[in-house]
Amino acid sequence: MSTSYVEFRGKGFWSWDGYWEDVLRLLAETPMEGDDPAWLTTVRLQWVEQASGVFAGWIDPKLDELLSTVDRQQVFLGLAQCVSRREDLTPEARATLQLLVGLVRGELSTDAASPLDYMVSGQFPYRGLRKE
C-alpha cells in the first residue's frame, strides 16, 4: 500500500495511492458545465497519467504549478463540486476529495510531518471505481 503526499502552498496531506488515483481519474474524466479552459484540458491529461497506477508513492498532481491563480483555483473547486455529486463516488474517494478541496481553499494546516490522524481509511482490498 503506497502513499503519496500532495502539497499546495506549503501545506498538504498523505493519502493511500488507490484513493488518489480514483480522485485524479474522476477529476480528469468528469465533465463540467461549459467548456474547459485550455489549461484544464492539459491538466486533465496529466491527471489521467498520474492515475494510471505507475506512480506508486510518487503521485503529484502539481497543484502549485497548475492552480497558480485564484481563477484557476475557482475552476478547480467547481470541477471538484461536479465530482462530489457523482453517485458512484466511493466513501474513500469522497473523503480524499474533501481533504483536497480543503487544501485548495487553504483550510488545512497539515504538512508532511503532521500526525496522520486525518488519513482516510476503508476496507481492503479497496475496490474503487475501475474504468471498464
pLDDT digits (tens, 9 = 90+) for 116-131: 999 998 877 787 765 5
Domain membership flag for residue 113? no
Overall number of domains in the chain: 1
Domain presence at residue 4: no
Looking at the domain assignment, is residue 3 inside a domain? no
Which helix (H) or strand (E) segment holds residue 72: the answer is helix 70-84
CA dihedral of residues 111, 53, 79, 68 (deg, nearest 10):
50
> Is 6 inside any structural domain?
no
Q: Is residue 125 assigned to a domain?
A: no
Average pLDDT over residues 81-110: 96
The angle, 0 to 180 degrees and rounded to 10, between the axes of the packed helices 17-29 and 70-84 is 100
Range scoring the smallest mean pLDDT among 49-53, 81-85, 112-116, 120-124: 120-124
> Average pLDDT, stretch 30-41?
89
Residue 98, domain member (yes or no): yes
Query: 61: domain range?
Result: 24-105
Q: Which residues contact 41 (CB under 8 A, 6 or more apart)?
A: none
| Residue 122 located in a structural domain | no
34 part of a folded domain: yes
pLDDT of 1 reads 63
| d(C-alpha 27, C-alpha 12), whole Å | 18
Q: Which of 93, 67, 71, 72 is nearest to 7 (CA)?
A: 67
